[in-house]
Structure 1
Amino acid sequence: MHCRLTNFREVIMNDNNPSLSRGRRAMVRLAEPAAPVDAADENARRLFLQRAVACGAALPALYGLAGEAGAATPEAPPQPAATAASVIRDFHDPYLELVRLLREACEVEHALMLQYLYGALSLKPSYAALAGDGTPNNHTLLGVAVQEMQHLGAVNRLLLALDAAPNLVPAEFPYEPHIYPFEFNLEPLSPASLAKYIYAEAPIGYFDGPRQATDEHFARTVLLMIGPKRRPNHVGSLYNAVIELTREVGKRPGMPKLDGWVEKLEAIKSEGEADHFRFFQSVFLGTHPAFGEHRDAWQKPPTDANYPAYAAPVNPTAYIGHQNQIIAPELRSLAWLADIHYWTALLLLEQHFRYGDAATRSLALAHMLGPLLSIGRHLPPRGSGVPFDPLNFGSAPALDAQRGRQLIASLVREGQALAQQLGDALPADYPRELAASTLAALAPTHIVLAR
């Protein structure tokens, strides 16, 4: 791509970008504290820096524009204490409002999980220690993605405790939650994408209230990359609202018992605001152990062989005729097969949550950590990526548990037939036997319902 950087005014006057179609907007809205309006020159400066990032500008250049740490810059005036935005309440009934926000939380956790997974799969083999192996932890990208999957599972279990249905409907990218000042996109790992993840996982008030001097320079750089649109919130405000509603609902007579759920939700909130935030900060700064002596890796242009990530596409799709469609037939077929495994995993989890189907949870993990990761690592070096396309089956597409298994079995057979057609084009580590073992486990004689 040819990049032409002119001046701040030209960038702000010509910042329309029709290359990405709009996705669905989330329904959570915030009541935000009043904030001063940035001057036009500052807006233009921020947009210029975003364009510079897109054109491969190195982090040191951005650090210089943000103000070097320790440089002689005017002392910042005292700032008022951070004020967290509050989620606008739609329903007077706390039970209805809690169910509504939990379903939105499912979508946010789902979208975060997919972004982190896509970023992990975009990393080159020399950064395997940063990508991880799928074990849940807070020091690898796949580990953090799996923890987001665990958060998604916990929120769905709370929905079940409230006698509400689970929500595993896939996100459609670009996805725009109102609680963030940017769209969620599937994109390769980069300083620009890391800035978004840092902002999303930051403690409430980190970017809006007083900070330690050692954090000030870092925070300014992240905000410059994000741009002028600012909302003083992150995942924390959504969970604050959910926690307060959980307390309220748990005290009402006739409502389900929610003992222990406040502590579980507090733990989820804390995990993001502490562990995940610091993890993404270390990757952004190049201080994560996986960088070793190459702390300047993000300073290289994305086209450099030593840049950490492949140039995977943004928001690809395997749907024919859609914008950002994967063009190469073989790559599109592989991406479609990855979609089938992703959808299979979601329907298996839906079966597990909705019907207490004991076997389907482990089958879902097998499809996520087996064929999906196999194809996911195979595509980025070839200029593609797993699209994680939405499936219009919606939630609970079957009438009951048995019919749910039948529908999933049909999807598994669809993937099995495509894998046979692809033959040697499949990655060497693709688990070809998983389809047969999944079909055997889904057979009627193996049904075990726990609920």
Structure 2
Amino acid sequence: MNSKIDPVAEPAVVTGSREQLLHLLAEASEIEHTLMCSYLYAAFSLRRGEREGLFTTEASTVDRWRKTIMNVAVEEMGHLLMVANLTVAVGGRPHFARPNFPVAPGYFPSGVVVRLTGFSRETLEHFIFLERPQGSPGEDNRTFSQESYGREQAVRGLMPSAQDYTTIGHLYEAIRANLISLASHLGEGGLFLGGAERQVGPDVVDFQGVTKIASLEAACTAIDLIIEQGEGSPEEQEDSHYRSFLSIQSEFEELARGNPSFAPAWPVADNPVLRLPPSPEDKVFVDHPEAAVLLDFTCSVYGLLLRLLVQSFGRAGSEPVLEQKTLISAAIELMHTLAGASDQLARLPASLSTPGVNAGMSFTMLRGVEPLLDGRVEEQLIRERMRDLADAARTIPQLPSALSASLDRLAEAFSLQASS
């Protein structure tokens, strides 16, 4: 970045009560969650190999892009877990809910547009814009532009106030400012009262930076890592999300110059939806029989995956680490299931009414992902749902038989835990 360019001013930081902090942490969770889904959607849309229309050099490059974008999405998952730990540390419950796609204007700041779009020049430009360093000028691709607005309140009172930001890094700086302010007012012991034992640590999941938080120093270290990994890193690290997307963009343009018909991705739908929308203008209703059944299955896998993550926090049993490992291991296995099914969706037509447009994973949310009742109730409900998924997988021709067997094994794991 040219240091002579004047930095772009960010909105003033809003500080307040613990409720304000929890409000900001919930927004950060939703940002990480929605970006993770957006990146996964783009990665799932990429073609694989020469058998899908790529030349040899193109195929190897596109395969590397897929791995890079998937790694970025995994880091977003790590950020989501880090924010969850921080939320628990200050007395809250992890926030894994979010709005469905496309996110309506007014929910996030006007410069943060989040939709599901396949891999393309436009999508790449959008990702670069979202991940740009704090203070950097930038302009989103016009495909993603929307009217500017603010989220002001007439009175800043007891209710938490919206924190506008032009870069995601500034949202985290607002969280840092609130942590410092509350630690000064309440003392660190009064602020970090949630307890480290109810969080998820490196003994359970091997994600960089996912550690238990019980102090202001640990909280600020987590924020530093999130920013450095991509959400507006002032250092512009070579492996940051911002730099990774810039590198892909450069290679994309080079390949396109050599082959003007270069098409690295399937023509997947913008904003596919599981349910018929009342306003269909910016969405594609997936109603092709094959794709609709597979989308229903994939969204159900995603819903259970979120439930497993939710259940991993706040555990107070006699063996919380063992229970967390069971839940997180199952969640990771479901991630692989989701990826495989989503790849297949990108190769199926979305609808009989939209020829030439393929389907895609809509990441449709459950109405609620609050923690299930613990103990045998939790185990019974998870086991039931695993078996529902296994039975459904056996009826879907696009899914390998090993997949239903894997889901059967996961259901049995929760049966064994219930009987122990």
Q: Same fold (TM over 0.5)?
A: yes
1:408 aligned to 369, 382, 398, which one? 382
Q: Output the CA distance in 2 between the equivalents of 1:117 and 1:155.
A: 20
Q: 1:428 to 1:412 in 2, by over 3 A?
A: closer
**Residue from 265, 283, 295 that aligns with 1:309:** 265
Give the structure 2 partner of residue 205 of structure 1: 135
Deviations 1:292-311 (A, max 9, x none): x62537x84xxx5x311111
Q: Is the 8 A contact 2:393 2:403 kept in 1?
A: no
Match of 1:362 among 329, 349, 366: 329
CA distance in 1, matches of 2:375, 2:183: 30
- 1:319 aligned onto 2:275: yes
Q: CA deviation at 1:173?
A: 0.5
Report the CA distance between 1:313 and its aligned residue.
0.7
SS at match of 2:285: coil
Q: Secondary structure at the match of 1:286?
A: helix
RMSD across aligned positions (CA): 2.6
| Counterpart pick for 2:294 among 325, 330, 334 | 334
The answer (yes or no) to whether the contact 2:291–2:345 under 8 Å persists in 1 is: yes
1:343 corresponds to = 303
Q: For residues 307 and 251 of structure 2, what CA distance do their matches in structure 1 show?
A: 38
Please say if 1:276 is aligned against 2:276. no
**In the alignment, residue 439 of structure 1 is paired with which amino acid?**
A
The answer as to 2:44 corresponding to 1:121 is: yes
Superposed CA deviations along residues 7-27 of structure 1, whole A, max 9, x for unmatched, are xxxxxxxxxxxxxxxxxxxxx
Cα separation, 2, equivalents of 1:237 and 1:80? 17
> How many residues are aligned here?
336
Do residues 418 (structure 1) and 392 (structure 2) align? yes
Once the 2 structures are TM-superposed, how far is the Cα of residue 235 of structure 1 from its aligned partner?
Answer: 0.7
Map of 1:181 onto structure 2: 111
Q: Which residue in 1 is equivalent to 2:160?
A: none
Q: Is the 8 A contact 1:351 1:401 kept in 2?
A: no
**Following the alignment from structure 2 to structure 1, what is the Cα–Cα distance between the partners of residues 224 and 360?**
34
Structure label with greater radius of gyration: 1
Structure 1 pair 114/401, CA: closer, same or farther in 2 (3 Å)? farther
Question: 1:316–1:430: structure 2 CA closer, same or farther, 3 Å change rule?
Answer: farther
Map of 1:163 onto structure 2: 91
Deviates more, 1:179-188 or 1:259-268: 179-188
Q: Of the candidates 372, 375, 380, which is equivalent to residue 341 of structure 2?
A: 375
Q: 1:401 to 1:189 in 2, by over 3 A?
A: farther
Q: Give 1:271 shift.
A: 1.1
2:367 to 381, 392, 399: 392
Amino acid in structure 2 at the alignment position of 1:402:
R
Q: Which amino acid aligns with 2:9?
A: T
Check whether the contact 1:402–1:444 (CA below 8 A) recurs between aligned residues: no
Q: In the alignment, what sits opposite 1:244?
A: 177
Amino acid in the other structure paired with 2:417: T
Gaps of 5+ in 2: 49-58, 150-164, 193-213, 349-357
Comparing 147-156 with 123-132, greater Cα deviation is found at 123-132
CA contact under 8 A between 1:180 and 1:200: conserved in structure 2?
Answer: no
Instruction: Give the equivalent residue in structure 2 for 1:84.
Output: 10
The change in CA–CA distance for 1:390 and 1:409 in structure 2 (over 3 A counts) is same
> TM-score of the superposition, structure 2-length normalised?
0.73
Deviation at 1:183, TM superposition (A): 2.8
Shift of 1:226: 4.9
Query: How many Å separate the matches in 1 of 2:12 and 2:373?
Result: 38
Identity %: 24
Q: Are 1:445 and 2:417 counterparts?
A: yes
**1:267 — aligned with what?**
225
Shift, 1:120, TM fit:
0.3
| Equivalent residue number for residue 433 of structure 1 | 405
Shift of 1:270: 1.6
CA distance in 1, matches of 2:75, 2:110: 21
Are 1:349 and 1:364, in contact at CA under 8 Å, matched by a contact in 2?
Answer: yes
Compared with structure 1, are the counterparts of its residues 200 and 180 closer, same or farther at alpha carbon in structure 2 (3 Å cutoff)? Answer: farther
Q: Residues 352-400 of structure 1, C-alpha deviation per residue, up to 9 Å, x if partnerless?
A: 113243210111011002x11111111212221111111113322x233
Is 2:255 aligned against 1:294?
Answer: yes
More displaced stretch, 382-391 vs 353-362: 353-362
1:163 CA displacement: 2.1
Shift of 1:86: 3.0
Are the structure 2 counterparts of residues 228 and 118 from structure 1 closer, same or farther at C-alpha, using a change threshold of 3 Å? closer
What is the TM-score of this pair, normalised by structure 1? 0.68
